Structure 1
Amino acid sequence: MNKQESDILNVILQYQYLNQRALAEQCGFSLGIVNRSVKSLQGQGLLTIEMELTPEAKIEMAKHHPKNAVILAAGYGMRMVPINMETPKGLLEINGEPLIERLIRQLHEVNVKEIYVVVGFMKEQYDYLVDQYGVKLIVNMDYAEKNNLHSLAKALPYLGETYIVPCDLWCRENLFSEYEWYSWYLVSDAKDPDSTVRINRKWELVPADEERTGNHMIGISYLTDAAAQTMAQRIEKMVPDRRYDHVFWEDALFVEQGMPVQAKTVPEGAVVEINTYEQLRELDENSDQLQSDAITEIEKALRVSREEITGIEVLKKGMTNRSFLFTCRGERYIMRIPGEGTSRLINRRQEAAVYQTLDGKDICDEIVSINPENGYKITKYLEHARVCDPADPEDVRACMKKLRAFHEAHLEVAHTFSLFGQIDYYESLWEGRRSVYRDYAATKMHVMELKTYLEQQPKVWTLTHIDAVPDNFLFTKESGATKIRLIDWEYAGMQDAHVDLAMFCIYAMYERPQVDALIDSYFTEGCPQEIRTKIYAYIAVCGLLWSNWCEYKSQLGVEFGEYSLKQYRYAKDYYKIVMRERAEQEK
C-alpha cells in the first residue's frame, strides 16, 4: 500500500462515506490519483464498492497505531525577546491556551498518551504538565550551547512509532492521527528559499537547489520503528562530534538523496510557528504575554502604543545583558534588558549618573531612556556600525586615541570603582562555595600583594569606563565622517584611567607583545617604564576580578568558555611579570 492509498484510508475512516471527488478535496490528490488508488484498495480487499472499509482493512489499521510523542521544549527561544525573559516559548498562550498544552491535547485526541517533553531553559515551569497531563520530562542541560539535535538525542530510547514535535507550533486543526502507515515529515505548500527540501512528483522530500525552491519546513514528523532506529544510529554518531553542536534534529533525518520519509503537506497558514513577539501578536493580539515589562517600558519612554513597536529582532546575547532591536515611527532603537544576576553586579543608579555626565559630550551612543530602578535602557540604533577589530593595528590606534581624549576630558561622578573591593565582593557572591581553581588562595594572595604597590603609583584619576573592551568601541558613519562611540558604561566610575588599557587587553586576550603595542598606541609620546609596569599590574588585578565575576555567573548557568580560563591566567602570569619588572627596576 503506497502513501496515497494510506492517506485515503485514513480520510475514509475519519469522514465515513465520501465519493471520489470529495476524497480528492480532503486528501489534496488529483481526481485521477484518487480513482486509481480506490481501485487498487478495492483490489486488495481493503475497500468495498460502496467505499467502506472492509474488516481486513480494520485489522490492518490496528497494526499502525502511533505509540508515543516527543515534544522538544528545551531551547531559549532567543528570537522571542522580550517575552523569553519571562516565559519559555512552549508556554506562550494563544487565546488563553499554552502552545504545548494545545499540542498535548491534540495528541490525546488520537489516543497518544505516552508523551515525553525534553526541557532545559526554565524547565521548572513545565513541571505542572506531569500532574495535569501525565507527561514525562527529560532534562537537557546542554540547551544553552547546543541545538535541538541534542534534545532529541536524550529521547533516543523512546523513539519508534513516534511523533516528533517542536513546542512552538500552533496547529489550527489536529494533524495527528490514530493510524499512521508510513514515516513522514511535515512541510507546507508555501515556498521557502531557506528550506533545504522540496517535494518531487513522487511525494518524496529531495534536496532543494537554486533552480527549485524548497517547501517551508514545519518540524513535525512521524517515524515508524524502522525509520526511528536508523535515524537514532546517525544521532549517536553525530552527538560526540562538535561539528553538529548547532544543527537541528532534521539533519539526522537527511541522507544524501534527501529525507528517506514521505512528504506530508498542509496549506500555508495551517501551522503557525511562534518565533517572534510579532508573530504572537499577529495570531493573538490580546495575548496577556504581549504585556512584557520591556514593551511597557518602550511605550512609556517613547509615548507610543504597543502596535507602533515593530520589527523586533534579537541582537547577540552579551556577557551581561540581552538586547533587541525594534522600530518605532520610522526610527530604529535598541532595548537593553539586564541579564541574570545583574542586579547584584551593577548599580543602575550609578550607571544612570554616568550617562547624565556623558550627555552632550559626543562620547557614547545616544541614550533615549534609562530606568535606574530596573536597568532597562533604550538607545538610538547606529546604522552601519561595526566594533573594533583588536587584531587590526589601525583600529586599535584609533580606539586608543578616542580613549585618551575621553580620559583627558577629566569627567567626574560621585562614585568610584574599587578593583580590590570588587574582587572581594564578587567572591562573596559565591555564598560559601570554594573557587573552582585549586590554587585560588595562593593566586589571590599574590594579586593582593599588588595593592600596596598600586596605591603608591601616580594615577590619572578621572571617570573611567572600566569595561573599555574592543566590542564596546563602535565605528560609525555620521554625516559622511567616521566616528568612534564608546558604549556600555555599566561599570564606569572614578578610577585610574590606565585601568581601561588593561581591560582592553584582557578582553582581547592579548599576549604580551600585543599588550605593549596597545600601550604604545595610547602613549604616542612614549610610555615611561614605571607606567607600563603599573598597567601590567592592573592586568593581573583585573584578570582575577573578571575571573571571580565569571565564577559567579557560572553558578547562574552562564558559561564563558576560554575567556574565564584566560582571565585567571592573566592574574597569575602578570603577577610574575610585575615582580620581574620591579626587580629589574630596583637594580
Structure 2
Amino acid sequence: MDRIGLICRYIKEDPRSTQRDLAQKTGFSVGTVNTLIKEAMQQRLIAQGKSVAGTYELTGAGDAFLEQFQVDGALIIAAGFGSRFVPLTFETPKGLLEVFGERMIERQIKQLHEVGITDITIAVGYLKEKFEYLIDKYQVKLLYNPEYATKNTLTTIYRARQVLAGKNMYILSSDNWLRNNMFHAYECGAWYASSYMEGDTSEWCLSYNKKGRITHVEVGGHDSWVMYGPVFFSRTFSEKFLPLLERYYHTPGTEQFYWENVLMEHLDELEMDINRQPENQIYEFENLEELRQFDPRYQNHSDNTALELVSRVFELPESEIHDIRCLKSGMTNKSFLFQLQGRHYICRIPGPGTELLINRKEEADVYRVIQPLNISEHIIYMNGETGYKIAEYYEGARNSRSDSWEDVSRCMEVLHKLHESELTVDHEFNMRERIAFYEGLCAGHGGTLFEDYTEVRSHMNELLDQLDALQRPKILSHIDSVADNFLFLPDGSVRLIDWEYAGMCDPLIDISMCAIYSYYDENAVEKLMQIYFGREPELLERKVIYSYIALGGFLWALWAVYKASLGEEFGEYTLIMYRYAKKYHKKVCLL
C-alpha cells in the first residue's frame, strides 16, 4: 500500500485532520505519520493548512498524485443461491434480503454512491430477474454468470474479468451488511477486509507482516484475523492476478475453487494488504438463525410464504422453527427440513412452472385415499390448490438402493400392496394425453426436439395403439417409482413418497418407470420383472413393460426438454430417456 498516498487521501477527505487524526485513521503511529507528512511536503504534495494550525491541505501536485488511486467502480457478486437461508432464498436472492428494512445490496450501493462511485456491475445468476429493477433505481449494470449453479466464485470473477481489467475496483458480496461506510473515492493499494475472530474459526485466517502485507492464508484457525467482507483490486494487482485466474479457470479440478484460492497460492507474487476493521462493522450472516438474532423482525415476521404457513399449521410463532436446512431440490419441487418442538418435518414448495405439470388437487386426493395402506409418508398438511405440503421427517431413514436386489424386492412388495388394494381415485394417468401435453409445452416454449423426433413419435403412436387394443385394467399406480422415492425406516418398514403423478393406470407402468429411473440395462430389467412377478414374465407382460419403458423414456425426455426451455438442465438424463424410447420400441417389435 502506498502510505504517502493514504496520508494524501485522508487530508483530501478532511483538510482539518491533524497528525493525531491521521494516525487514528491510518493505524500508523504518530511518529510514522510525522515522517510521511515530511516526505509528502518535500514532494510538494501537501502544505500546511492556512486556516487552522497543525492541519494540512493538498496541493495541485497532490491532487494529480492521487488520480492514480481513484476508484473506478465496483463489482458486486450476487450469483449464488444461498442454501443456508432457505426457505427465504427460494423466493428472494440472499443479497435482496432486508436487514432493518433495507436490502443488503442496496445499502452497499448507496454507500458506494456516497463517495462518488457509481459505475457498479452486479454479477448475477440465481433468480437473476430479481435484480433487474436495480438498473433503473441505481443505474447499475448486470453481468450474467451462466455457470453459477455448478461452479464457485473463481468462475464469477473470471466472467467479470473485463470489468476489472485496467481499473481500480471494489469487489463486494451482495449479502454483506456494513454498519459504517468503509468506502473511499481513492484506495492506495489492494486489500482484503478483515475482522478478528476469537476462539476456533473455520474462516480463512490471515498472517501479515509489519507493513500489513498478507503473507499467508490458512482455512481454519484460532484467535485470528480472517478474510471478512469487501476487497479492493488495484489495477496493478489485477494486471498480475487476472492471467493467473484465467489459467486456473481452464485447469480441470478448479470448478469449486473460490477466487481466493488463487490468491492464497500466489502470495509471493500478488501483493495484497490486510484491512483490519473494528468489531461489529462487517456482518456476513451464515444462516437464518444469525439473521434472526441480528434483526428481530425475522423471528416472527419473515414475510416468507413457507415459514408463515408452517407457523399457521402448527399454531406456533415462527421463532419456534429452528434447524432449517435445504434438502436436495427435486426435479419438480424445492423442499426444506425444519425442527419444531424437538421433531423434524419437511416442507415442500412447488417449483416454478409445476402448476402446468401437476394437478395438486388430484395429488391431495391420492394421499387421502391411500392413507389406510400406511405405505406413504405421514402428511401433516397438503394444499390441493397451492401444492404446499408438510410431512413428517423420518430420522435415520435412507433411500432405496437401485443396485441392491434386496432393497428392490422390498420396494416391489410395497407396489404389490398398492396394486392389490383395489383403491380408486377419479382421475387417471393417461400416457397418450401426457405425451401430447408435454409435446405442446415444448412447442409453446421453444424447446428443441430431436432430429429424428417425427420418426420416433410415430413409433410411440404404434405402441400406444397396441396398448389401447389390449384394454389393460386400470389400477391406482404411483407412476414415479424411482428408488429415491422409497424410504427405508429404522423400524424396518418401507414408505413410498411423492405421489404427484399417481392415478389410475396399468399397474405395470410402475415396473417400467422403476427400471428407467434406475438406468437399468437389459439384464437388470429382466431381474426386476422376475422379482415383481415372482416368476418369469409372460410374453404379454414383457411386451407391456417394454412398451411402457419406451413410452416412459419418451415422455420424460419431452419433460426434460420443456424444463430446459425454462433454464433448468438435467445433463445426460434427456439423452438416456430418449434412448430408452428408441431401444425398447425395437425390443417390442422383436417379441
TM-score normalised according to structure 2 size:
0.88
Shift, 1:57, TM fit = 5.8
Q: Which blocks of at least 5 consecutive residues in structure 2 are unaligned?
A: none
Alpha-carbon distance between aligned partners in 2 of 1:210 and 1:291, rounded to the nearest angstrom: 35
Shift, 1:282, TM fit = 3.3
Shift, 1:219, TM fit = 4.5
Q: Cα 1:428–1:275, aligned 2, differ >3 Å: closer, same or farther? A: farther
Task: State whether structure 2 residue 37 is matched by structure 1 residue 38.
Answer: no
The RMSD of aligned alpha carbons is 2.9
Q: Tell me the SS of whatever aligns to 2:195.
A: strand
Question: Which one of 558, 579, 585 corresponds to residue 569 of structure 1?
Answer: 579
Shift, 1:383, TM fit = 1.1
Q: Cα 1:390–1:187, aligned 2, differ >3 Å: closer, same or farther? A: farther
| Contact in 1 for aligned 2:143/2:160 (Cα 8 Å) | yes
Question: Which one of 283, 295, 306 corresponds to residue 284 of structure 1?
Answer: 295
Task: State whether structure 2 residue 104 is matched by structure 1 residue 96.
Answer: no
Alpha-carbon distance between aligned partners in 1 of 2:221 and 2:72, rounded to the nearest angstrom: 39
| Contact in 1 for aligned 2:202/2:219 (Cα 8 Å) | no
Q: Cα 1:24–1:44, aligned 2, differ >3 Å: closer, same or farther? A: closer
Matches within 5 A, 1:382-461: 382-432=394-444, 433=446, 435-457=448-470, 459=472, 461=474
Alpha-carbon distance between aligned partners in 2 of 1:474 and 1:435, rounded to the nearest angstrom: 36
Shift, 1:155, TM fit = 2.0
Task: State whether structure 2 residue 142 is matched by structure 1 residue 137.
Answer: yes
| Contact in 2 for aligned 1:75/1:144 (Cα 8 Å) | yes
Shift, 1:9, TM fit = 6.3
Q: Deviations over 1:401-440 (max 9, x none)?
A: 3333333333322211111211111111124446421111
Q: Tell me the SS of whatever aligns to 2:579.
A: helix
| Contact in 1 for aligned 2:124/2:142 (Cα 8 Å) | yes
Alpha-carbon distance between aligned partners in 2 of 1:437 and 1:79, rounded to the nearest angstrom: 38
* Aligned counterpart, 1:585: none
Number of matched residues? 572
Shift, 1:35, TM fit = 4.3
Task: State whether structure 2 residue 359 is matched by structure 1 residue 347.
Answer: yes
Deviates most, 407-416 or 103-112:
407-416
Q: Which blocks of at least 5 consecutive residues in structure 1 are unaligned?
A: 583-587
The one-letter amino acid paired with 2:293 is: E
* Aligned counterpart, 2:181: 174
Alpha-carbon distance between aligned partners in 2 of 1:521 and 1:558, rounded to the nearest angstrom: 35
Q: Cα 1:217–1:491, aligned 2, differ >3 Å: closer, same or farther? A: farther
Task: State whether structure 2 residue 234 is matched by structure 1 residue 224.
Answer: yes
Matches within 5 A, 1:143-162: 143-159=148-164, 160-162=167-169
Q: Deviations over 1:249-288 (max 9, x none)?
A: 3334332558741122224532223454444433333379
Q: Cα 1:401–1:242, aligned 2, differ >3 Å: closer, same or farther? A: farther
| Contact in 2 for aligned 1:171/1:270 (Cα 8 Å) | yes
Alpha-carbon distance between aligned partners in 2 of 1:569 and 1:210, rounded to the nearest angstrom: 48
Q: Cα 1:513–1:205, aligned 2, differ >3 Å: closer, same or farther? A: farther
Alpha-carbon distance between aligned partners in 2 of 1:485 and 1:217, rounded to the nearest angstrom: 46
Q: Tell me the SS of whatever aligns to 1:124.
A: helix
Q: Deviations over 1:268-311 (max 9, x none)?
A: 53222345444443333337982112122112211111222222
Task: State whether structure 2 residue 64 is matched by structure 1 residue 76.
Answer: no
Q: Tell me the SS of whatever aligns to 1:222.
A: strand
| Contact in 1 for aligned 2:201/2:221 (Cα 8 Å) | no
Shift, 1:54, TM fit = 6.4
| Contact in 1 for aligned 2:76/2:120 (Cα 8 Å) | yes
Question: Which one of 242, 258, 266 corresponds to residue 277 of structure 2?
Answer: 266
Alpha-carbon distance between aligned partners in 2 of 1:316 and 1:25, rounded to the nearest angstrom: 49
Question: Which one of 150, 170, 183 corresponds to residue 190 of structure 2?
Answer: 183
Shift, 1:466, TM fit = 0.6
Alpha-carbon distance between aligned partners in 1 of 2:35 and 2:526, rounded to the nearest angstrom: 82
* Aligned counterpart, 1:293: 305
Q: Tell me the SS of whatever aligns to 2:380.
A: strand
Percent identity, aligned pairs only, is 36
Q: Deviations over 1:75-132 (max 9, x none)?
A: 3334332223333333222233222221111111222121112223333332332233
The one-letter amino acid paired with 1:299 is: S
| Contact in 2 for aligned 1:324/1:335 (Cα 8 Å) | yes
Question: Which one of 484, 492, 495 corresponds to residue 471 of structure 1?
Answer: 484
Q: Deviations over 1:337-376 (max 9, x none)?
A: 0001100101101111111122243211111101111000
Q: Cα 1:269–1:461, aligned 2, differ >3 Å: closer, same or farther? A: farther
Q: Tell me the SS of whatever aligns to 2:236.
A: helix
Alpha-carbon distance between aligned partners in 2 of 1:205 and 1:309, rounded to the nearest angstrom: 43
Shift, 1:378, TM fit = 0.5
Q: Tell me the SS of whatever aligns to 1:409.
A: coil
Shift, 1:12, TM fit = 6.3
* Aligned counterpart, 2:508: 498
Q: Cα 1:45–1:144, aligned 2, differ >3 Å: closer, same or farther? A: closer
* Aligned counterpart, 1:207: 217
The one-letter amino acid paired with 2:513 is: M
Q: Cα 1:315–1:434, aligned 2, differ >3 Å: closer, same or farther? A: closer
TM-score normalised according to structure 1 size:
0.89
| Contact in 2 for aligned 1:186/1:266 (Cα 8 Å) | yes
| Contact in 1 for aligned 2:216/2:264 (Cα 8 Å) | no
Q: Cα 1:53–1:357, aligned 2, differ >3 Å: closer, same or farther? A: same
